């Protein structure tokens, strides 16, 4: 077999492996729909509720993408809707957003409408955190509890009801995964975005083996194929 034959053979093996992974993940996602909807009733009404949430924040999202973030990096409207519904269903009072940006605006809007809810926003980039602070101020929501990752870690453990882990590049996210999970209290929820990336998904599965993990693919898959998993501690 010549070089081109070796390359083609390797390419076919990779494609088969990816196809097998997709089939496995799709099956997992479908199997997880019923238990998710049983535990979180709003997900059973997702088809009716999510479009209204997305529509409500559509102009803010366009403003964010135009002046601050990038469509490939900003959280999707699908994730935003799911995040809002899970916060309501779980009755989360202390929420932390790892990876500041549009989700920080959404969660701080949520907190303004749900008295007693506290939101923290964290980023591994001090520069990006300040961009978030400025945009949040422009939008008229709270700018308290904004921290760099290093500052957060220096403060010790915090027991949050809901954690969104969407911080930094994928190597950073993988490296901080266990610490991010540990921020949630016993019984708390952790949303792990971008598990469409196979290497990261494998890392999450290996690191959190034995934990209760659900695929949110049915609810959070966006036009560029991104989606999230949910960990219940």
Q: Tokens representing 146?
A: 């904004």
Pull the structure tokens for residue 230. 């949910």
**Planar angle of CA 209, 212, 215, nearest 5 degrees:** 100
Closest by CA position to 29, among listed 163, 196, 189? 196
pLDDT, tens only, 105-116? 999 999 999 999
Structural domain total, the chain = 1
Token pair 């605006």 in the structure block, residue: 105
**And the tokens for 223?**
């036009």
Going residue by residue through the chain (233 aa), what tens digit of pLDDT does each one get?
Answer: 443 443 344 334 433 444 445 788 999 999 999 999 999 999 999 999 999 999 999 999 999 999 998 888 899 999 999 999 999 999 999 999 999 999 999 999 999 999 999 999 999 999 999 999 999 999 999 999 999 999 999 987 789 999 999 999 999 999 999 999 999 999 999 999 999 999 999 999 999 999 999 999 999 999 999 999 999 98
Report the interhelical angle of 126-139 vs 102-113 (nearest 10°): 40
State whether residue 146 is helix, strand or coil.
strand
Phi, psi dihedrals of residue 148, rounded to the nearest 5°: -75, 160
Question: Over the stretch 6-32, which tens digit does the pLDDT of each residue have?
Answer: 334 433 443 344 444 578 899 999 999
- What is the residue range of 22's domain? 3-232
CA distance 132 to 219: 26
Which CATH number characterizes residue 43's domain? 3.40.50.150
- Is 37 exposed, middle or buried, given 0-12, 13-18 or 19+ CB atoms closer than 10 A? middle
The model's pTM is 0.90
């Amino acid at each position: 077999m010549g070089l081109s034959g070796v390359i083609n053979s390797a390419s076919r093996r990779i494609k088969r492996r990816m196809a097998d992974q997709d089939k496995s993940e799709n099956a997992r996602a479908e199997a997880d729909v019923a238990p998710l909807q049983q535990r979180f009733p709003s997900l059973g009404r997702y088809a009716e509720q999510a479009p209204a949430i997305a529509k409500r924040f559509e102009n803010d999202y366009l403003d964010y993408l135009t002046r601050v973030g990038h469509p490939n990096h900003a959280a999707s409207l699908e994730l935003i809707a799911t995040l809002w519904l899970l916060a309501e269903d779980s009755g989360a009072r202390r929420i932390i957003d790892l990876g500041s940006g549009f989700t920080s605006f959404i969660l701080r809007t949520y907190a303004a409408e749900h008295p007693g809810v506290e939101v923290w926003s964290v980023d591994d980039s001090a520069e990006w955190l300040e961009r978030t602070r400025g945009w949040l101020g422009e939008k008229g929501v709270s700018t308290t509890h904004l921290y760099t990752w290093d500052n957060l870690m220096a403060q010790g453990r915090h027991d949050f009801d809901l954690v969104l882990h969407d911080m930094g590049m994928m190597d950073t996210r993988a490296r901080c995964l266990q610490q991010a999970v540990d921020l949630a209290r016993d019984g708390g929820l952790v949303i792990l975005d971008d598990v469409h990336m196979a290497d990261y998904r494998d890392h999450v599965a290996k690191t959190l083996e034995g934990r209760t993990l659900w695929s949110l693919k049915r609810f959070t898959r966006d036009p560029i194929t991104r989606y999230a998993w949910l960990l219940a501690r």
